[in-house]
Chains A and B, each alone.
Chain A
């Protein structure tokens, strides 16, 4: 079982719609979770982090964490073509004391 799992996509949404990206993790000792955006050929850039159950909002982005279900999600409201990228979910494993990434979900926002 992979430690952090994401659907590889591509997830295709129309401009202006809500994009929903999901991530599950296997290590119950994970305490903090991160969403990164990566454009093709570039390094990942941090969008949001969350470590408490519930929702965390920042502009058009909302991260959601459910530790009981070991589930993290990222919602992007009013999606724009510039949001088209690969979104990487990461978990800090307390048990292994390291940052573990999922394989990423490719998002395509079409006009």
Chain B
């Protein structure tokens, strides 16, 4: 089945640790996105990538890093510089053309302990 897979579903991070969230898609999509959602809030764009080996900062990129070495994969690292990382993280992918919809993974819920 084609789809977009995020792992893990739940993640706990200690203060000062870096953690990496995985996002893999087998839809042959060019574009991939990372969003953050806080309780009762909308989606805020962290990073996005329209093509392999290229990515752009979104609205809240500070404290996060990404890579796009393969078309299928767009991992997100939450660094220790991100002071309030507890949130629901959503990865999405779409065809590069503008008139196509984005599909979401099931999300990763990150909690700082």
Contacts and interface: CB of A to CB of B under 8 A. Distances in A.
Asked if A pairs with B, the answer is yes
Interface stretch (B66-74, B76-84, B97-105): B97-105
A31 B90 CA distance: 23
Contact of A46 (B33, B44, B103, B105): B103
A17 interface: no
Contacts, number: 55
Contacts of A34: 101-102
Given A44-B90, A44-B104, A98 B99 contact: no
Contacts of B85: none
A75 B35 CA distance: 26
Interface in A31-59: 31-32, 34, 41-46, 49, 51
A92 B106 CA distance: 22
A43 B94 contact: no
B86 to A, nearest CB: 15
A36 to B, nearest CB: 8
Contact of B99 (A6, A32, A41, A103): A32
Interface residues of B, number: 25
B45 interface: yes
A51 to B, nearest CB: 5
B42 interface: yes
Contact of A98 (B42, B58, B101): B58
Contacts of B58: 98
Nearest to B56: A98
Most buried by B among A42, A88, A94, A98: A98
A45 B102 contact: no
B101 A43 contact: no
A85 interface: no
A76 interface: no
Complex A-B, nearest 4 residue pairs according to Cβ-Cβ distance, in ascending order: A103-B42, A101-B43, A43-B104, A32-B99
Given A32-B100, A51-B98, A98-B56, 16 more contacts: A32-B99, A42-B106, A43-B104, A44-B90, A46-B101, A46-B102, A49-B99, A49-B101, A88-B43, A92-B98, A99-B92, A99-B94, A100-B45, A101-B35, A101-B42, A104-B42
